[in-house]
Structure 1
Amino acid sequence: MLIKSPENQRLATLLQRVAERDHASFRQLYDLTAAHLYGVAMRFVRQRELADDVLQDAFINVWQHAGSYAAPLSTPMTWLISIVRNKSLDHLRKGKLEGDTLVARDDNPHPEAEQAAEHADPLELLTVAMEKRELGRCLAQLEPAQRQSLALAYYEGLSHSEIASHLQVPLGTAKAWVRRALGRLRLCYEASQV
């Protein structure tokens, strides 16, 4: 079970409203998260201009795909960080940085986790570890195609059409795999809470 903190609930509500194209909620989400997400981008790209670009691209992605956020899979901030991380890696792959900065990103492939660990209390770390273990157990129960499509959607930030193209399947198939995977994960989580 993911931590149901007031902050997580507030961000999840804002993401739901952003999915409905609520501009005021998008602004609130930006105000609440941009500073932290900018820090994540800076840890990857190490240049202010590029971090600005990453943050802009990430929030465009959030605006376009807020409806794909799934509370059973991650906290809102984890989902947002994964988008920033993926956009940062996209910028690095495009060769917008010098070669030495490309090497620097491999020093710590998950700086957001390290930063979060610095500020977390032991109970929170234990809860997160238990959630990860439960998620891993539930993911292992999915069919490989469903697991892969879900990973592409939530860890790589791909849209349904991008998933279909990546997996070379019809768009309807990609959508069905993601939908079924989410349904099975939800059932798995609900069963673990009984």
Structure 2
Amino acid sequence: MAEATGDLGLLLKASAGGDRRAFAALYDASAAKLFGIVLRILNDRGRAEEVLQEAYLRIWRNADRFDPTVGRPITWMAAIAHNAAIDARRRNGPATVSSVANGDGEETDILADIADPTEAPDGADLEALRKCLGQLETDHRTCVLLAYYEGWSREELSEKFDRPVGTIKTWLHRALAALKLCMGTP
């Protein structure tokens, strides 16, 4: 992303005050990244374009709620886009998923597709995350990646892994706890 974090914060602040030019600049600086997030979840370019516009409408309406002491502007906007895409996916049913487990049953490196080391959340180390994910059981790792990066519901994961929803919830809970421990996150 060409814009520095501070610039995005200033653009968000100006947008919160109703500055349409600042909002247009914010869109220009972040749309490609947010579109990538939405497209990965929906895997349908048309739907992704619509949902991206919904996400930016949410960003415009809630720009005054952004708190720079809590996180980075791009992280805050990415969460809004991610949630909008998951909402759309659940509302309209699953799209064809590009998926962590490709048609050959092999895992793709989803982190390479979605994470730019320069855009990693504060304090996060992409290589450490890869290492920690590598320590999880294969099914648990795939489950986490499908749930949190592809937007799959617990019910969809239950069907994919032929396990009860309760088991999927347990897998996700344990896998996330293991990742937090491995990453040294409190």
Name the TM-score, length of structure 2 as normaliser.
Answer: 0.54
- Is 1:9–2:9 an aligned residue pair? no
- Is 1:75–2:72 an aligned residue pair? yes
Q: Is the Cα contact below 8 Å between 1:81 and 1:112 reproduced in 2?
A: no
Match of 2:114 in 1: 115
Q: How many Å apart are 1:127 and its aligned residue?
A: 5.6
Q: Counterpart of 2:114 in structure 1: which amino acid?
A: Q
- Is 1:129–2:128 an aligned residue pair? no
Match of 2:90 in 1: 93
- Is 1:48–2:39 an aligned residue pair? no
Q: Distance in 2 between matches of 1:112 and 1:19?
A: 32
- Is 1:18–2:11 an aligned residue pair? no
Q: Is the Cα contact below 8 Å between 1:44 and 1:105 reproduced in 2?
A: no
Name the TM-score, length of structure 1 as normaliser.
Answer: 0.52
Q: How many Å apart are 1:105 and its aligned residue?
A: 8.4
How many equivalent residue pairs?
117
Q: Which runs of 4+ in 1 moved over 4 A?
A: 103-108, 111-114, 124-127
Match of 2:56 in 1: 59
What secondary structure sits across from 2:39 in the alignment?
helix
Q: Counterpart of 2:41 in structure 1: which amino acid?
A: F
Deviations 1:112-160 (A, max 9, x none): 79732xx326xx8696139xxxxxxxxxxxxxxxxxxxxxxxxxxxxxx
Match of 2:140 in 1: none
Deviations 1:20-46 (A, max 9, x none): 000000000001111111111111100
